[in-house]
Amino acid sequence: MSKSTLPLILGIIAIGAFVLMQVRGSQAATPVLFDGSATTLAAALSEAGDAGRPVLAIATADWCPPCQSYKRDALASDRVAQIAAAKAVPIMLDVTERNGPFSADAASLGVSSIPATFLLAPDGTVLAQATGPVGESELVAMIDDAARAVSAN
């Protein structure tokens, strides 16, 4: 390999790495566990009261790379989807737009950084919360703990 081809090869590698980072950082699909979820936090809390389960509320935005990673990883897990469907009322609070439909709900929870995960009692009391992507096992434990707390009351 000559000295003149080295910059070309390094350039190709750099472009490939940039393209890979852009593809990986693109918007993730909404996880299955949020299909058919309540349309407002108030509706989710009402449904949770009727079912005797906690609300699993996730604040996220399309422009947030850690949110997209969270949607692809723990929130896309079959295990999380099964546990959440059985033990919680899931809702995704999309705060992509500053004054969007979930802005007031996110503000009422005090969301200041995303992604944010909340487990709420049917009366709106915060049972658990986390900022940043939560791992699958930790999220399952949070849901289980919140479900036990709600059923104990």
User: What is the residue-level pLDDT of the chain in tens, covering all 153 positions?
Assistant: 566 675 566 556 656 444 444 444 589 998 888 886 667 899 999 999 999 999 999 999 999 999 999 999 999 999 999 999 999 999 999 999 888 888 899 999 999 999 999 999 999 999 999 999 999 999 999 999 999 999 988
What are the backbone dihedrals phi and psi of residue 127, each rounded to the nearest 5 degrees, phi first? -90, -35
- Write out 23-61 in H/E/C secondary structure: HHCCCCCCCHHHCCCCCCHHHHHHHHHHHCCCEEEEEEC
Using an 8 Å Cβ cutoff, are 137 and 130 in contact? Answer: no
Amino acid sitting at position 111: V
* CATH number for the domain formed by residue range(s) 28-152: 3.40.30.10
In this prediction the pTM is: 0.81
Rounded Cα–Cα distance for residues 99 and 66 (Å): 21
What is d(CA 19, CA 97) in angstroms, rounded to the nearest whole number? 26
Check residue 11 and give its pLDDT: 55
